[in-house]
A and B are shown apart, each in its own frame.
Chain A
Amino acid sequence: MTVAPVFMPARRHRRLGSLMRHLRSPVAVTSLIVVGLALGATLAPGLLAPHDPAEQSLLARLAPPSFLGGPEGHFLGTDQLGRDILSRIIYGARATLLISIAAVVISCSIGTTVGLVAGYNGGRTDALVLRLIDMQLAFPVILLVIAVVAVVGSSVLTLIVVLGISGWPQFARIVRAAVISVREMEYVEAARAIGAPAMRVIFRHIGPNVLSATIVFATYELSRMILIEATLSFLGLGIQPPTPTWGGMISEGQKYISLAWAASVFPGIAIASTILAINMLGDVLRDALDPRLSGEDGR
């Protein structure tokens, strides 16, 4: 056999290149900066924060932000105990993000596995899983968490476990639906026809075409978890003071909102912008993961 010149495709490179291209848009860059700041605050708050978040100064309580005439050194003002709001927001990112990311990882792993199994096998397994999903979705998450926290008490671990378990049905539903639509595709049949084992069919042909939907959903779910965690802290069921959390800061600050709006507004802005940035990144990721949308490619 003659071996003609061979053209090896640079495939990984191309997929990565497509992601990089998408990440260069202004929206993506802004989102990346916001998420990066939040992650930086989670990992090393001490490097970013100007003050100790627990340091009280009762003489400088409820001060307005320094750029609005407040005292020097407190860029976003102080709360009802004179603690620096900027530093508390930075330290508050840790509890909030740790809980939400861990909860999403848990619910995503459970949900994806259950969804893959239910979607690929169908039949009784599928029916059983669907009933389980319906049962859990009929139960409000907040109520579930309140019940659990009331029984075992509130800690980071409890919150992670409860939120993680509360989120799996949505993942399972999305993955199941995606698997069912992909399972009937002719390329899956073709893979079986060439003798590919079931595991290879699931992981090479079904998995990757389901993965992008899952990853994108995970980013939306992450922002929902942040919101739930903030809600719980706001209700006093989340992480207990004095550990700063964004929801807890809003809750404490709202009592003084007529005197000092800064104490509750800035944590609110932190939550809103983080969620927005994560959702934007989710969109970018969705476009980048779909080869059909990654366009151009050296025609």
Chain B
Amino acid sequence: MTEGLLEIRDLSKTYTVSQSLITRRKQVLRAVDGVSFSLKRGETLALVGESGCGKSTTARLAMRLIEPSAGTVRFDGSDIGALRGSPLRRFRRHMQIIFQDPFASLNPGMTVWQTLEEPLIVNDLGNQATRRARIHEVMQQVGLAPEYAGRYPHEFSGGQRQRIGIARALIVRPQLVVCDEPVSALDVSIQAQVINLLGDLQAQLGLSYLFISHDLAVVKHIADRVAVMYLGKIIETAPKRDFFASPRHPYSRALLSAIPQPNPRERLNRMALSGEIPNPINLPQGCRFHPRCPFAVDRCRKEEPTLTDVGADKAVACHRVDDLPDWEGSPDPLDILSPAGRRRVAAYAARTRPQLPTTNSSQDVSEV
């Protein structure tokens, strides 16, 4: 089996929390608990799950922005866990990150130009003239007029700021980009634009994405593979098509059935979960999902399932994976539309996709 661009093995991050002032009892919070996955070159892997399940922590561990407690990260064949100091800093340009909140991810005291120039300066790339050309090029790639370079972040809208964040990530020509909920802070109409931009840039530049999201509609649009996390563990991985057609793990099914249905006539086929997500300090024995799982049996309460290969590039961590009823699912919203309605949706999708400039045109492409 060929090695992917990013290979994560048994990655863990634990935090020590002192619970009580008096007894000073130390307790351990397992934010990420033995996560393994691999990401192929040019692929988009979506990491999905509820908030607090460790998605963002996993991504930051993979980037070495947080030091892992255990496990290995291999990038392009080399172990990056061993890097320290300036070799680590030099490595960083290959793996970049786009943040969730475009209002917090840009330094308010730096102009767009300064923000985009910094990665080039820090990594000692190019001279003044080539830097200038590169900033210009990247701004056009993300659909920003280069005339805006002298402006400060507060002068832009949320969608434009997110484009600046994308430009900052791309300017050093990374191979892998971590997208940490890149659209969940944006308006729905802007979401589509940014998602389409990310897709176009991937096709154009051959990028790989580690895409973190809790929004399955977005994931369905952009991902190649899906990995579902629950309380610090991956509980199911599958190619996107299989995942949305027939999710195996009961939790994945619950997530999918929580997607709002646009058609009011459609009978709801909801699998509502009862109970709260357990406290990650006091994890339940056995399968961590069993207190909320409608299919739980005795074995689930005692023995923790491992992520097991179930064929066709799929893996599930569930004891009862073979006993579960078939997934009825819910129809694709597009399937229930009339042909005319489908044409309207397609026309809207085309309209919201920003026109990417050809490489040697310098016309203003930003109408946003």
Interface residues of A (CB under 8 A from B): 1-11, 14, 185-187, 189-197, 200, 204-205, 208-209, 290-292, 297, 299
B101 within 8 A of A: yes
One of B145-153, B208-216, B252-260, B300-308 at the interface: B145-153
Contacts A6-B136, A9-B150 given; indicate if A200 touches B122 (C-beta within 8 A): yes
* Identity of the chain B residue whose Cβ is nearest the Cβ of A293 in the assembled complex: B154
Pick from A7, A187, A197: contact of B106, CB below 8 A: A187
Contacts A9-B113, A185-B104 given; indicate if A193 touches B146 (C-beta within 8 A): no
Q: B122–A195 contact, CB under 8 A?
A: yes
Q: How far is the CA of A237 from the CA of B205 in the complex (A)?
A: 73
* Identity of the chain A residue whose Cβ is nearest the Cβ of B129 in the assembled complex: A3
Q: Give the residues in chain B near A200, CB-CB below 8 Å.
A: 122
Q: How far is the CA of A194 from the CA of B114 in the complex (A)?
A: 14
Q: How far is the CA of A208 from the CA of B96 in the complex (A)?
A: 24
Q: How far is the CA of A45 from the CA of B351 in the complex (A)?
A: 72
Q: How far is the CA of A5 from the CA of B136 in the complex (A)?
A: 9
* Identity of the chain A residue whose Cβ is nearest the Cβ of B360 in the assembled complex: A2
A-B interface pairs (CB < 8 A), number: 113
Q: Give the residues in chain A near B65, CB-CB below 8 Å.
A: 189, 192-193
Q: A193–B63 contact, CB under 8 A?
A: yes
* Identity of the chain B residue whose Cβ is nearest the Cβ of A296 in the assembled complex: B155
Number of residues of chain B lying within 8 A (CB) of chain A: 50
Q: B133–A3 contact, CB under 8 A?
A: yes
Q: A1–B122 contact, CB under 8 A?
A: no
- A10 → chain B, closest Cβ, in Å? 7
Q: Give the residues in chain B near A191, CB-CB below 8 Å.
A: 107, 118
One of B86-94, B239-247, B266-274 at the interface: B86-94
Q: A186–B104 contact, CB under 8 A?
A: yes
B123 within 8 A of A: yes
Q: How far is the CA of A2 from the CA of B357 in the complex (A)?
A: 13
Sample (12) of A-B pairs whose CB atoms are under 8 Å apart: A1-B133, A2-B359, A4-B146, A7-B146, A191-B107, A195-B90, A196-B122, A197-B89, A204-B118, A208-B107, A291-B152, A297-B152
* Identity of the chain A residue whose Cβ is nearest the Cβ of B109 in the assembled complex: A208
Q: Give the residues in chain A near B89, CB-CB below 8 Å.
A: 195-197
Pick from B108, B111, B150: contact of A292, CB below 8 A: B108
Q: Give the residues in chain B near A11, CB-CB below 8 Å.
A: 111, 113-114, 150
Q: B150–A7 contact, CB under 8 A?
A: yes
Q: B168–A195 contact, CB under 8 A?
A: no
B31 within 8 A of A: no
Q: Give the residues in chain A near B100, CB-CB below 8 Å.
A: 186
Q: Give the residues in chain A near B137, CB-CB below 8 Å.
A: 1
- A194 → chain B, closest Cβ, in Å? 4
Q: Give the residues in chain A near B359, CB-CB below 8 Å.
A: 2
Q: B109–A194 contact, CB under 8 A?
A: no
Q: 16 more A-B contacts (CB under 8 A) besides A186-B99, A189-B60?
A: A1-B130, A4-B133, A4-B136, A4-B362, A6-B133, A9-B111, A11-B111, A185-B105, A186-B104, A187-B104, A189-B97, A193-B97, A196-B118, A205-B107, A290-B108, A291-B152
Q: Which of B98-132 contact A (CB under 8 A)?
A: 99-101, 104-111, 113-114, 118-119, 122-123, 129-130, 132
Interface of A is mostly: loop
Contacts A5-B362, A200-B122 given; indicate if A190 touches B133 (C-beta within 8 A): no
Q: How far is the CA of A292 from the CA of B99 in the complex (A)?
A: 21
- B124 → chain A, closest Cβ, in Å? 10
Q: A7–B108 contact, CB under 8 A?
A: no
Interface string of B135-174 (1 = CB under 8 A from A): 0110000000011011110110000000001001000100
Q: How far is the CA of A10 from the CA of B151 in the complex (A)?
A: 10
Q: How far is the CA of A11 from the CA of B137 in the complex (A)?
A: 20
Q: How far is the CA of A2 from the CA of B136 in the complex (A)?
A: 10
* Identity of the chain B residue whose Cβ is nearest the Cβ of A193 in the assembled complex: B97
Q: A194–B146 contact, CB under 8 A?
A: no
Q: How far is the CA of A297 from the CA of B111 in the complex (A)?
A: 12
* Identity of the chain B residue whose Cβ is nearest the Cβ of A4 in the assembled complex: B362
- A129 → chain B, closest Cβ, in Å? 20
Q: A10–B154 contact, CB under 8 A?
A: no
Q: B150–A193 contact, CB under 8 A?
A: no
- A195 → chain B, closest Cβ, in Å? 4
Q: How far is the CA of A292 from the CA of B156 in the complex (A)?
A: 11
Q: A187–B152 contact, CB under 8 A?
A: no
- A204 → chain B, closest Cβ, in Å? 7
Q: A189–B99 contact, CB under 8 A?
A: yes
Contacts A7-B147, A194-B168, A195-B122 given; indicate if A187 touches B111 (C-beta within 8 A): no
Q: Give the residues in chain B near A5, CB-CB below 8 Å.
A: 362
Pick from B88, B99, B172: contact of A194, CB below 8 A: B172
- A33 → chain B, closest Cβ, in Å? 30
Q: Give the residues in chain A near B172, CB-CB below 8 Å.
A: 194
* Identity of the chain B residue whose Cβ is nearest the Cβ of A212 in the assembled complex: B109
Q: Give the residues in chain B near A297, CB-CB below 8 Å.
A: 151-152, 155
Q: A9–B149 contact, CB under 8 A?
A: yes
Q: Which of B88, B90, B93, B109 has the largest count of A CB atoms less than 10 A from its CB?
A: B109
